[in-house]
């Protein structure tokens, strides 16, 4: 199918021009339908089809593994991106003098867990996401861990994960990635990028529900990271309710401490399988082109664009502002015209997905 034909899977287009996927994306129709089916079945038959629930969770792990080139045994299902990042931050055996490399532009979810390690004597070297690779290479020397977003939440800067992962591998540094602003839009290969751990919730660019996230962690790192929370499903004997054995599960499931968000798993599985059908290799160029369209025209309208977009680092996020223009009021004015963007730190942030048309972008730009 041509990309344009998938637009019917996004009923939000009947009501709004949704340019806010960097916040919360609309549910794609297959996700909404899967969650409705589960809800109605649970209403009418309680848990009679529990085996199907478990299979759906396994199918979500398999779909995630296809998306990022891992195995399902390396995937845990968590509540959100923050939980995945915090699992690594709190689960490693930190020593005084350990160093972390982090980036100033990060969303708080990828700053706060690491900052709390100061009490253990851990130091952070702060870089900019736009620093050159040789600067990152120098900082990674002697660092135990480097943590970075695939795409920055405000500037939309897309990192070269493969190059940075190679640096981390050479330096013996654990590579942790917050993938929420890029996963589902741009190809990501955890093997090629030598990623140790990765977390992403499904409610942004994957067009799934809130409160259901995927967490990848390599087998090597599983041996180093203790579960942050501990409950009955962390253990290898979780299906034997009479057993009291604390032996951990032999896979990433050791980081799941209890009942999962089953209805969320139904939705995220359907959303992820939809994206795999469309093809991430086709989605990325379209999203990048829409972002380029916004950036080009707002500059012509004398708006300042945050960051420098290139073919290598551009993504679906474009933030812009103009002296004398209140960004919050501009976002509100656009919303009154059913054009949804976001006000962030004094900037107007637009973030279109692949089903948005060039004409809709033009409508937004004309309204500026």
Strands 99-103 and 123-127: parallel
Answer yes or no: pTM beyond 0.85.
yes
pLDDT of residue 97: 97
Question: Please, are residues 157 and 130 in contact by the beta-carbon 8 Å criterion?
Answer: yes
Which pLDDT score, from 0 to 100, does residue 154 have? 98
Give residue 49's pLDDT band: very low, low, confident or very high (50, 70, 90). Answer: very high
Backbone angles phi, psi at 280, to 5 degrees: -60, -30
Read off the DSSP letter of residue 27.
P
Confidence of residue 268 (pLDDT cuts 50, 70, 90): very high
Each residue of 108-141: pLDDT tens digit?
A: 999 999 999 999 999 999 999 999 999 999 999 9
Measure the CA–CA gap between 269 and 165, rounded to whole angstroms: 28
Give the per-residue pLDDT at 110: 98
> Could you tell me the pLDDT band of residue 218, with boundaries at 50, 70 and 90?
very high
Check residue 156 and give its pLDDT. 98
- Beta bridge partner(s), residue 349: 319, 342
**Looking at residues 50-74, what average pLDDT do you find?**
98
pLDDT of residue 100: 98
- Tokens 């959100």, residue located: 80
Query: What average pLDDT does this structure show over 302-315?
Result: 97
Tokens standing for residue 312:
């290598």
What dihedral angle (degrees, nearest 10) is formed by the CA atoms of 126, 132, 133, 138? -50
Residue 176 bridge partners (DSSP): 147, 197
Quick one: pLDDT at residue 63? 98
Residue 208 has a pLDDT of 98
End-to-end CA distance of the chain: 34
What local confidence, expressed as pLDDT, does residue 282 receive? 98
Give the pLDDT confidence of 143-181 residue by residue, as tens digits: 999 999 999 999 999 999 999 999 999 999 999 999 999
The fraction of the chain above a pLDDT of 90, given in percent, is 100
């Amino acid at each position: 199918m041509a990309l344009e034909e998938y637009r019917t899977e996004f009923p939000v287009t009947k009501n709004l021009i949704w340019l806010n996927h960097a916040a919360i994306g609309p549910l794609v129709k297959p996700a909404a339908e899967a969650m409705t089916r589960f809800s109605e079945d649970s209403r009418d038959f309680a848990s009679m089809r529990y085996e199907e629930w478990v299979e759906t969770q396994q199918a979500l792990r398999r779909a995630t593994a296809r998306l990022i080139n891992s195995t399902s045994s390396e995937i845990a299902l968590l509540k959100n991106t923050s939980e995945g990042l915090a699992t690594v931050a709190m689960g490693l055996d930190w020593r005084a003098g350990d160093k972390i490399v982090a980036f100033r532009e990060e969303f708080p979810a990828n700053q706060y867990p690491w900052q709390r390690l100061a009490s253990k004597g851990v130091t952070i070297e702060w870089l900019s996401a736009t620093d050159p690779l040789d600067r990152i290479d120098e900082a990674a020397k002697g660092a135990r861990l480097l943590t970075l977003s695939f795409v920055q939440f405000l500037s939309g800067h897309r990192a070269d994960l493969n190059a940075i992962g190679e640096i981390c591998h050479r330096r013996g540094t654990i590579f942790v990635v917050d993938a929420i602003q890029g996963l589902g839009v741009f190809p990501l290969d955890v093997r090629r990028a030598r990623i140790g751990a990765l977390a992403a919730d499904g409610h942004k660019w994957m067009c799934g529900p809130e409160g259901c996230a995927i967490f990848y962690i390599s087998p090597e790192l599983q041996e180093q990271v203790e579960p942050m929370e501990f409950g009955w499903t962390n253990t290898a004997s979780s299906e034997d309710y009479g057993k009291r054995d604390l032996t951990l599960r032999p896979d990433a499931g050791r980081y799941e401490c209890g009942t999962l968000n089953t209805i969320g798993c139904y939705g995220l599985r359907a959303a992820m399988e939809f994206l795999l059908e469309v093809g991430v290799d086709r989605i990325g160029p379209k999203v990048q082109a829409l972002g380029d369209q916004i950036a080009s025209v707002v500059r012509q309208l004398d708006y300042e664009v945050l960051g420098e977009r290139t073919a290598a680092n551009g993504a679906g996020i474009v933030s812009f502002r103009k002296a004398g223009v209140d960004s919050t009021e501009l976002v509100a004015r656009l919303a009154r015209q059913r054009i949804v963007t976001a006000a962030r730190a004094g900037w107007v942030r637009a973030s279109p997905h692949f089903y948005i048309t060039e004409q809709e972008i033009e409508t937004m730009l004309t309204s500026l």
